[in-house]
Amino acid sequence: MLKIDKFNFKGKKAIIRVDFNVPLNEKFEVTDDTRIKAALPTIKKVINDGGIAIVMSHFGRPKGKVNPDFSLSHLRGYFEKLLGTDVQSAPDCVGSEVEEMAAALKSGEVLLLENLRFHAEEEGKAKLPEGASEEEVKAANAEMKEKQKLFSKALAGLADVYVNDAFGTAHRAHASTAIIANYFDADSKMFGFLIDSEVSNLDKVLKEAKQPFTAIMGGAKVSSKITIIENLLDKVDNLILGGGMTYTFIKARGGKVGNSLCEDDYLELAKSIEIKAKEKGVKLYLATDVLAADDFSNDANTKVMPVEQIEDGWMGLDAGPESMKMFKEVIENSSTILWNGPVGVFEMEKFAPGSRVVAEAIAAATAKGAFSLIGGGDSVACINQFGLADQVSYISTAGGALLEYLEGKELPGIKAIRG
């Protein structure tokens, strides 16, 4: 597989899929430029080598229709400033005018294509009339598939090389994230720096983990994390389950959880996860004590209680001191650590200590040589809140794509290039 750091773009026209789906305010000003900044190393590499960068992205949800509110031209000036090079804006992403603009580009120049999602072919969802018959649905889907191929081919026709650097959309089999790759040979398609580092860091955890490997899964509900937990059971030595999902497990064991968050529909599943963990020799750690509150509020009264005896009217909102000690010890003795989801309601100061202890233990293990990966919006927010972001090995900021990768799914955008 081609590696971007080894590739020389001199004289090459590269079409680069980035994720410029950034938030804007009502004046169409960028309010968070993280995603634009994340794409810069790849774009700079292309132009610094003496290549041409044709940059494409989706932006918002215009649902296959041209909508000026979702025009990528709003970002052009901001992108230009960050990049430090002139950026031209195309009026569309395909069509004769765009082809002419792309053909006229010279070495070192950058063209920003218009929002890919102004074309329904990007996502490839067929529009179906209400009450469409099975036959009609089939025909409409087949027609859209053909149109999507033509659209992907038209995008590919603008360049010599395809670079995918949009990890955030790598779990989508869209025209620009996956299908376009069919129109490039193996020696003219590659990941950009962002996807490359996401994939290689995630693989350090999922494929090449040094033991002991500990995963800490937290967050609100077990229902949203089941597939990840099941996938991790084949890989980890220790699995710490924290946060709101604790109480579904405790209730399944016959414990009293009071008013704590609990998914009664998942009690059997919790039991089966415990059985599977035992069968696979995975040590499962659940809190033994919790900080319970009489209200879901930072002003609530709080009390430490045994996790299996939470009083009526009280709810567990953070790990208790005994549990924190246990989590800390397990984490600090690990060589590979994956953290997804806080172990308490960290947004409220009173219930942040459990997640802080986890974050600090991860930083301490990393300082001793462990590889640590933090992924998923809330644990990233946690590590930033505690000022420890620079003391862990890698922070993944991708949402859905990261979760699907952790679930063990093959992402279409990754497969399209890696095969």
Among 220, 304, 380, 389, binds ligand AMP (CB under 6 A): 220
Task: Determine the Cα angle at 341 with ends 258 and 216, to 5°.
Answer: 95
Of 44, 125, 149, 221, the one binding ligand AMP (CB under 6 A) is 221
Between CA 195 and CA 389 the distance in angstroms is 20
**Closest-approach residue to ligand AMP (CB):** 219
Restricted to residues 363-382, the positions that interact with ligand AMP (CB under 6 A) are 376, 378
Based on its alpha-carbon atoms, the radius of gyration of the chain, rounded to whole angstroms, reads: 24
By the rule CB under 6 A, 316 interacts with ligand AMP: yes
Question: Of 76, 188, 65, 68, whose CA–CA distance to 123 is shortest?
Answer: 65
Total length of the chain: 419
In whole angstroms, what is the distance from residue 295 CA to residue 290 CA?
14
The catalytically annotated residue of 35, 117, 172, 189 is 35
Which of 344, 353, 375, 412 touches ligand AMP by CB under 6 A?
Answer: 344
Indicate whether 317 belongs to the interface with ligand AMP (CB under 6 A): yes
Residue number, 192 or 354, with CB nearest to ligand AMP: 354
402 is an interface residue for ligand AMP by CB under 6 A: no
Stretch of 69-77, 98-106, 143-151, 344-352 contacting ligand AMP, by CB under 6 A: 344-352
Q: Determine if 320 is a binding residue for ligand AMP (CB under 6 A).
A: no
Task: Provide, rounded to whole angstroms, the least separation between the CB of residue 244 and ligand AMP.
Answer: 4
Residue type, 129: P
Instruction: Select the residue interacting with ligand AMP from 38, 144, 166, 261 (CB under 6 A).
Output: 261
Q: Stretches 76-84, 163-171, 201-209, 339-347: which one binds ligand AMP (CB under 6 A)?
A: 339-347
**Contacting positions for ligand AMP (CB under 6 A):** 218-221, 224, 243-244, 261, 316-317, 341-342, 344-347, 376, 378
Q: Catalytic amino acids? A: 35, 221, 377, 400
